[in-house]
Amino acid sequence: MGNFSELDMYLFGQATHYDIYKKLGAHPQIRRNKKGICFAVYAPHAEKVFVIGEFNEWNETKHEMERLEPEEAGIYELFIPGLGTGSLYKYLIITPDGRKLYKADPYANFAEVRPGTASRITDIEHFKWTDDVWMKKRASHGTMDHQPMSIYEVHPGSWMRHPGEDGDGGFYTYRELAKSLCSYVKKMGYTHIELMGISEYPFDGSWGYQVTGYYAPTSRYGKPEDFAWLVNYFHKNNIGVILDWVPAHFPKDAHGLAEFDGQALYEYADPRMGEHPDWGTKIFNYGNNQVKNFLIGSALMWIEHYHIDGLRVDAVASMLYLDYGKDAGQWIPNKYGENKNLEAIEFFKHINTLITGRNPGTVMIAEESTAWPMVTGPAPEGGLNFSFKWNMGWMHDFLDYMKLDPYFRKNNHNKMTFAMSYNNSEKYILVLSHDEVVHLKCSMINKMPGTGEDKFSNLKVGYAFMMGHPGKKLLFMGQEFAQLHEWSEKTELEWYLLDNPSHKSMQTFVKELLHIYKKYPAMYELDHEWNGFEWINANDADRSIFSFIRKSKDGKNCLLFVCNFTPVARDDYRVGVPVNKSYRLIFHSDDEKFQAEGTKRPLSYKAVKSECDGRDYSISYPLPGYGVAIFRFSY
């Protein structure tokens, strides 16, 4: 029978073979006391399959694979004695009508550096992990609901590059990136990084969202063990690692999954189900158990083999809706005549429950842009069981408001308060992601109204409001120091801007906010619960000022935020407070830390019996234009 047993075939056919990546693909093995490589591939429609590669000079007939019994299982296998790791290879698939297809291994753990498209034999089982402390702590959380999550979204190829080189030689390797990026992230105060474009992909311009290698860290930055080293390094420095993961679609590249064995296999056969007209990509067949197992196995490999702490699932809406991006006649309703993809719904319930159930403390994050109900709700109650959902509604309202001239903000005040009306319906992450700073959308700083320092002041108060608002946080790289140009995957970030005091001040401002976020449980403990947040004044539209409280479980070290979204100073600003106590100023935007001509403020503000904002007690504070003040107090 070989490496792939009858039990393997059964589990694969049920979509429950959770370590399928150890069976399919190319793996070192010993048979009859001989070391070699065992190849196994799923190609049920193929007439014949051959392994071709550097080791046989790409001979198309030398190494024919055996179709295992039962034949309907569609598994081909071949053990080649004496063969070691390192060689490039592909599968030559002969279709029943005589066509020859040269395919990369869908389960390969390593690939040739693009523009090459071959797979590379490797052994990923020998890395020595030393992140036990992190892994035990992660498991002890159970969920991340009450833990801090401030995520730095990073594209590895353009965060930083070696000087003087524009091509591939300029990339940081995984190990170089680990050291430089980890040092920066720790200094800034982020709790997690989220890496784009780690699963192997052929085209740089896709940023990693058109994947051909779901089981392979991209070879652009090094070997699989180098990627494992990166994850291990971050964990030893107490930083979590989240990956973008793309089960929504895949490209039509000839070496990839499209019509893998001569006809639709990984995709739906009917193009009305199996193709995205707008994206020019194929849609996975979520009704095929072997395809579901392919995706589930990929997710489990990243989480369990590479110790990844969570997956941000891209384009969830495109999976849930059969008519997503399609006109009438381009899609097929489900059996109830609706536009819901029932198979994708069940897939999400299965995989999300499985991942977080087997790996406590890990997260599954939905990039879902519609009002689909209960994305983070429990599966038994009809939810999809994601850990968190990107709050795209908040993001759009926030950016719409921030782009406005301050004079017109009073007429759009509700854009900044509306998200709290549905905050408890899901478990949210507030995001300002790469999608908001590409395709002529401008960088964050250039979305802001005004000129010069007004732009920086606007963005600072916006970031402070975001940090105080309930929900975990995500900020794309470069926006923490106000990168001027839109992001491009072709060049590194504009680090030279940090020589400019305004950009350096922005970075310091964000850094201070991130460290406050991590320090005070009030900022994250009760993100998704009604008793974790309270408006002091949500209706001060004429002055465009927002004041609110973030609460901790024990009522200690709660935080009062005041944010002024106009350039008008309020020297006699008074804000209502919940208790008759002293309020300690822990952060203010005109601090000397942030500007050369900063202002020293008293640190303590005693409440007085003076009605304001519907409360008996209040404090007075000189609030500057675009001013932010954060006060600490206890009930």
Please give, one letter per residue, the 3-state secondary structure of 383-395: CCCCCEEECHHHH
Rounded Cα gap, residues 210 and 201, in angstroms: 6
Residues taking part in catalysis: 314, 367
C-alpha dist (Å) from residue 462 to 113, 386, 412, 416, 455: 41, 28, 15, 10, 11
Q: Do residues 106 and 257 lie in contact, with contact meaning Cβ atoms separated by under 8 Å?
A: yes
Tokens of 384: 């999809």
Rounded Cα gap, residues 362 and 245, in angstroms: 14
Q: Do residues 8 and 27 lie in contact, with contact meaning Cβ atoms separated by under 8 Å?
A: no
Which stretches of 246-380 are assigned E, i.e. beta strand? 275-276, 281-282, 310-313, 363-366
Tokens of 138: 């992660």
Of 214, 294, 292, 210, residue with least CA distance to 252 = 210
Count of all residues that appear for the chain in the document: 635
Residue with tokens 């001239």: 405
Residue type, 132: D
Rounded Cα gap, residues 486 and 507, in angstroms: 18
Q: Do residues 208 and 196 lie in contact, with contact meaning Cβ atoms separated by under 8 Å?
A: yes
C-alpha dist (Å) from residue 456 to 451, 460, 467: 9, 6, 16
